[in-house]
Amino acid sequence: MNYEGRALTIAGSDSSGGAGIQADLKTFQVLNVYGMSVITSITAQNTLGVKAIHDIPEDIVALQIDAVLEDINVDAAKTGMLSNANIINTVAEKVEQYKIEKIVIDPVMVAKSGARLLREDAVKELINKIIPLAFLVTPNISEAEIISGIKINFFESIKEACKIIQSLGAKNVLIKGGHLGGEKSIDVLFNGVEFYTFEVDRTNTKNTHGTGCTLSAAIAAELAKGKDIITSVKIAKDFITLAIKEAPDNIGKGFGPLYHNIKIGS
């Protein structure tokens, strides 16, 4: 039996297993894509919050990328936690060096618990160095506001933010509308020409730790299989919706993880 593709996650490690590279690798596996990881930061965290963060030296980050790309190579990649400017610049250099075209940028800035995962002085580096390399960038509402520089409080402003972020160099932009509230959760995809919406009923649960990581990993997995961007987002949206609905209620005392071990038609 062979995997249908090869995907790389460049992100932080979550010791509780619900987000970061752990969530990404679980997602790759269940979607039948061979998963590899480059660890950018080690976090000591659980469902209640982040206790500590230790950034990996940028030369070790670079060597991890070299090791994977020189031997196995990738069909798609994604980034998660890139906590400081040195790591951001290193990852950007390696993406360009190896000409990784299908790269999903999840611009992680703040954890579900409120802990900062991107230093404030590194936000401009993320915007200037990483987003222009993105095949797809997947900000939530608060991240999209920071990147675009506009306030998002209604549907049309999501579209405007999409246009601004796409103008920074990203080929495609997916703004996740879950934080806007309401009975429906609506995500908006912009490819530079057309808008596409992905709408689902909101699930009432506090067990949503790692949703952004899982969604971007699922998109990267489908891109690694050779799917187009719209199909990849649609499948990933179906995957994340079911993973949230089936989220276990017996893991941790805070924001619990999703249920990654699901099967969907793809």
Please list the active-site residues: 176, 208, 210-213
With the C-alpha atoms ordered 53, 149, 163, 243, is the resulting torsion angle positive or negative? positive
Q: For residue 6, which of 105, 76, 79, 63 has the smallest C-alpha distance? A: 76
The residues facing 200 across adjacent strands are 185
CA 57 → CA 21, 110, 115, distances in Å? 17, 21, 21
CB 76 within 8 A of CB 224: yes
CB 188 within 8 A of CB 172: no
Residues 242, 263: Cα–Cα separation, whole Å: 9
Residue linked to tokens 């790269």: 103
CA 149 → CA 51, 142, 152, 170, distances in Å? 30, 10, 9, 16
